[in-house]
């Protein structure tokens, strides 16, 4: 096929529409090294500025799927449902959610990633459990889904390799925010993964990728359309990320909190979102009449969790690592907490060692931020507000800087924003 990437850049730069053949060619040529990074950077910037029509995004997504393998779960004894979160602070929902849904004979193939910057990664959290391993063969994954019903593991290199290459490029060229590219990146991997139903948790607010509800809604609508076009029953919840989820941000800290949820306790916002997403997943998988909430109280979800962790060589009874160094930050005045900025808390956890600046960086299992109050709670001056955890105490100063101004106080009880802001699909 005789094509020139410069022509495609010009078309999109001038507000034109790429044909299906042009999209197929440029994704294949970029994956194969024929189109250079600087040329794809120019095209990505043109897409960021000019946008794409629905059929362009669908074809772009299909071309990225076609760059690699597709998984097929049709031979499993249960229907499949998956969840994808766009990322936030304290977002440990996958950990209790996967075993909760599996209680009801819906298999959850949760292919997860690692954290980058202020947002945490599910695999980093689970690796705080002694012995647990993220990398499974396809055979191991299928076996675990057939016997236990839930697996959380790393995605193989064969799924949408074009996306891996393009994602790294977008991260370094200021084009991450392009909604067509975000949507196609997420959905190419999820469609290639082969799940029958997909529930998207699209975060909105300071600690999220999408800061405002309008852009988050556009992203959610685009992804739901892509899923349905590909035959995947897809819905999205728009959820609040102005405030961190739960009372912890960090790897071992979040595992501990997730186990509390599975034991019938845990913070109310984490329980609410876990149950809401479980209901959506079960409905999308053909079980609309199931109420998942009791399975958190009666031990059924905990039983699946223990089997799921043990199947990946983790010890569900092992003590989680604890930071050698801790520092307490106290409330500045009496009053109600009216705001707690998720982004500032996430950056603090990252600076303490819970996250990474580059993909190759190591993370500390023990690092993070523990919150002792949240918006709506009354505090008195000098009361502990945060406990900072790290293995490297020289990190405290920088973490403290990121916590400056993250909390607002009021004399009257504030109106606390809901966890779930909307639904698409």
| Active site residue ranges | 84, 163, 170, 185, 189
In sequence order, what are the beta bridge partners of 328? 387
211/205 Cα distance (integer angstroms): 4
| DSSP string of 309-339, one letter each residue | HHHTT--TTSPPP--SEEEEEE-SSSEEEEE
194 within 8 A of 73, measured Cβ to Cβ: yes
Residue carrying structure tokens 């997504």: 61
Task: Give the burial class of 374: count Cβ atoms within 10 A of its Cβ; 0-12 exposed, 13-18 middle, 19 or more buried.
Answer: middle
Strands (E), 1-53: none
3-state secondary structure of 344: helix
Task: Let me know how long the chain is.
Answer: 425
Beta bridge partners of 388: 327, 369
CA–CA gap between residue 244 and residue 162 (Å, rounded)? 32
Close Cβ partners of 157 (under 8 Å, ≥ 6 residues apart):
164
Q: Which of 193, 267, 204 is nearest to 234 (CA)?
A: 193
415 three-class SS: coil
Structure tokens at 149: 């019903």
Identify the bridge partners of residue 423 per DSSP, sorted by sequence position.
Answer: 237
Q: Please check whether residue 86 is in contact with residue 186, taking contact to mean a CB–CB distance below 8 angstroms.
A: yes
């Amino acid at each position: 096929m005789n094509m020139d990437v410069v022509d495609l850049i010009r078309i999109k730069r001038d507000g034109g529409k790429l044909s299906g053949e042009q999209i197929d060619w440029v994704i294949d040529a970029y994956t194969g090294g024929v189109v250079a990074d600087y040329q794809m950077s120019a095209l990505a910037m043109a897409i960021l500025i000019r946008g794409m029509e629905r059929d362009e995004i669908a074809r772009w997504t299909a071309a990225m799927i076609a760059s690699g393998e597709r998984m097929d779960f049709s031979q499993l004894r249960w229907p499949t449902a998956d969840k994808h979160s766009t990322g936030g602070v304290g977002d440990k929902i996958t950990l209790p959610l996967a075993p909760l849904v599996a209680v009801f004979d819906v298999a959850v193939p949760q292919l997860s990633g690692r954290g980058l910057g202020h947002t945490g990664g599910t695999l980093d959290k689970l690796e705080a459990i002694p012995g647990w391993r993220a990398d499974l063969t396809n055979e191991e994954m299928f076996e675990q889904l057939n016997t236990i019903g839930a697996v959380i593991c790393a995605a193989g290199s064969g799924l949408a390799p074009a996306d891996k290459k393009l994602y790294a490029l977008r991260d370094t060229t200021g084009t991450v925010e392009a909604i067509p590219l975000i949507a196609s990146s997420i959905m190419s991997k999820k469609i290639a993964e082969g799940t029958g139903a997909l529930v998207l948790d699209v975060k909105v607010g300071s600690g999220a990728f999408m800061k405002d509800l309008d852009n988050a809604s556009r992203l959610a609508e685009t992804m739901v359309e892509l899923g349905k076009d590909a035959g995947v029953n897809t819905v999205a919840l728009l959820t609040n990320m102005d405030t961190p989820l739960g009372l912890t941000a960090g790897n071992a800290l979040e595992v501990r909190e997730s186990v509390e949820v599975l034991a019938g306790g845990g913070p109310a916002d984490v329980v609410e979102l876990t149950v809401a997403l479980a209901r959506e997943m079960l409905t999308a998988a053909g079980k609309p009449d199931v109420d998942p909430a009791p399975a958190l109280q009666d031990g059924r979800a905990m039983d699946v969790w223990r089997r799921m962790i043990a199947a990946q060589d983790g010890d569900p009874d092992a003590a989680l690592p604890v930071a050698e160094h801790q520092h307490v930050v106290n409330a500045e005045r009496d009053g109600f907490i009216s705001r707690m900025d998720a982004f500032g808390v996430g950056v603090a956890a990252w600076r303490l060692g819970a996250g990474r600046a580059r993909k190759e960086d190591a993370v500390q299992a023990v690092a993070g931020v523990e919150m002792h109050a949240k918006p709506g709670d009354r505090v008195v001056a000098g009361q502990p507000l945060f406990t900072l955890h790290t293995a490297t105490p020289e990190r405290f100063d920088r973490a403290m800087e990121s916590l400056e101004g993250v909390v607002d106080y009021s004399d009257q009880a504030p109106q606390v924003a809901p966890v779930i802001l909307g639904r698409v699909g």
